[in-house]
Structure 1
Amino acid sequence: MDGLHRSTDPRDYQNVPQPIVVMSKRFDDGHTIPLHNHARDQLLYAVGGIMRLQTMHHAWLVPPDGAICIPGGTDHTVTMFGDVEMRTLYIDVAAVRARPQPLCVIAVTSLMRELILALSKEPIAYTAGSRAAHIARMIELEIEAARQLALHVPLPADRRLQNMCAALLADPSDGRTLEQWSHQSGASARTLARLFERDLGMGFNAWRQRVRFQSAVEALSRGQPVSLVAHKHGYSSPSAFTAAFRRAMGMPPSALAVQGNRATPALRPDESA
């Protein structure tokens, strides 16, 4: 067990007796971890950089000061934007007292951030009543109380929406209305609107805005100026984009760009996290 806290192999963290353990790993900009899953629940947090996680049915953006809860057994890929210094918490849901979280992005408070960093520096083989055990319990409480962020984009199964949604994912600035899309999709605007509500759980405009914000965060993380990002994502002015972005993300895009560009030295990653 000695030195296990230095391992970057996720398999070393699945069967330990501790209820919460932390793995530290760094990834280069643009790296994609291929489809995989783990036995334990995960909390995926990036100290620096931005991550996009995708399952069969959803795409999730994980911005700075956010983390994603991943139930055990969930197949997913992870793509890095900027050099990502990742902290992965592996959680034995049978051993913790907190209610397990669904697949979602949560806001990471300053306290949670410091607790995660503190536990990542503790030996993995901690004992009950130790400093590490108390930190782990506090992390449980912070996860349970965390605010969820609406940063996922549901992906359609209905063929009438698939081409349309794929086109919008490829070009988030596309400003065509449902009426205009109806000519291409073979369904009326009313039918398309009903399909968005039924299959994706939100209206067309709300879905397109989420796509735009995911793409915008990725662009900001690569250092593109706010004015250019606003124009590329269909906003008439940087001020309109900034106002909408602040309402959805809780911070202005300029602040996110600064956080997203925090550079961290990258080690050669393994093929899972």
Structure 2
Amino acid sequence: MKSYRLTEVKSYNVPFVRLPRPVFWFNDPFEAGTWSDLHRHEHWGELAFMRSGYMVICTELGNYAAPPQRAVWIPPGLTHEWYIPEPSVDNALYIMPHVLPPGPRFQRYHAMEVSPLVRELIHALAPQSCDYEEPGPVARMVSVLLDQLPLLPEVGFPLPMPRDRRLVALCTALLNEPDSPETIREWCTRLGMSERTLARLFQRQTGESFGRWRQRIRLHHARAQLEAGESVTAVALNCGYASVSAFIAAFKKLFGRTPGQLAR
């Protein structure tokens, strides 16, 4: 598996060989450009979840960017590393398999839609000590969280990432600035490749066109703005849509609900 370190990096070492409790969590801010070491967890899985920003998760099964409203489950034993393209806050969970329901779901690498309840539970746990008393109030929150995880709907991986170093540079820049006005022609000039080569390579390595990928990154960014309280009209204009109705249609097609339904 190839790594794509595009700038001087700040390496982050995964610190544990065993967990003090069946569920352990992080509340860590990261600088842009931080990479983890290549590693795997033999005895627990990881629920990669970002409070803000993005995490790009790299495995032999594919490279994917996880925005705040999605989580990615990394099962025990899967070798991986992650990259933080912009200043971000990580609320990841380490979970021992024996506290998860039996069956194949949590043995697979997959993404899931995070419900408001699960998001708030993770946020509520973040400032608490991971060496919590059992039984106790924190342990009860953990129990509710574990009950909720199997109910979260599985979704396609949010944002597939290419492997070509030039395309990784392009995608990383757009993760940092989703509303960048630069055209594909301008990017091709910077990357030293033709538009046809970029289109063909991007499609082959991600399974979708560059235009669709760019629209999705803008819509994920729009969703974060809406959840922060921005108006639908302001977000539509920020994303470059000519009309609010066009923005609403694109948003509903990707997320299955309108911006107004998201706010309720």
Residue 199 of structure 1: CA displacement? 0.8
Alignment RMSD (CA, Å) = 4.7
> Given that residues 61 and 151 in structure 1 are in contact (C-alpha distance below 8 angstroms), is that contact kept between their aligned partners in structure 2?
no
1:237 aligns with 2:243: yes
Specify the alignment match of 1:68 in structure 2: 72
Aligned match of 2:93: 89
Task: Tell me what 1:3 maps to.
Answer: none
Higher relative CO (CA 8 A, sep ≥ 6), structure 1 or 2? 1
Tell me which residue corresponds to 1:187.
Answer: 194
Describe the shift of the 1:150–1:231 C-alpha distance in structure 2 as closer, same or farther (beyond 3 A): farther
Alpha-carbon offset, residue 61 of structure 1? 0.3
Report the equivalent of 2:57: 55
Identity of aligned residues (%): 27
TM-score (norm 2): 0.60
Aligned residue among 18, 23, 33 for 1:21: 23
Q: String of CA shifts for 1:114-136, please: whole Å, max 9, x gaps.
A: 87669x89974648xx9999987
Query: What is the correspondence of 1:1-273 to structure 2 with a 5 Å cutoff?
Result: 14-16=18-20, 20-23=22-25, 25=27, 34-36=34-36, 39=41, 40-45=44-49, 49-56=51-58, 57-63=63-69, 66-71=70-75, 74-77=80-83, 88-93=92-97, 96=100, 97-98=102-103, 99-100=105-106, 102-109=108-115, 124=132, 126=134, 142-150=148-156, 152-158=158-164, 161-162=167-168, 165=171, 168-169=174-175, 170=177, 172=179, 174=181, 176=183, 180=185, 184=189, 185-187=192-194, 189=196, 191-220=197-226, 224-253=230-259
* Residue type of the alignment partner of 1:62: P
Normalised by the length of structure 1, the TM-score is: 0.59
1:147-169, Cα deviation, whole Å (9 max, x unpaired): 23446323333356456545655
Structure 1 gap segments, 5+ residues each = 1-9, 260-273
Structure 1 residues 103, 226: CA separation in 2 closer, same or farther (over 3 Å shift)? farther
Q: How many residues align?
A: 233
2:96 and 2:241 map into 1 onto residues whose CA distance is: 44
Question: Equivalents in 2 of 1:70, 1:229: separation in Å?
Answer: 32
The secondary structure found in structure 1 opposite 2:67 is: strand
Q: Indicate the SS of the match to 2:211.
A: helix
1:218 shift after superposition? 4.5
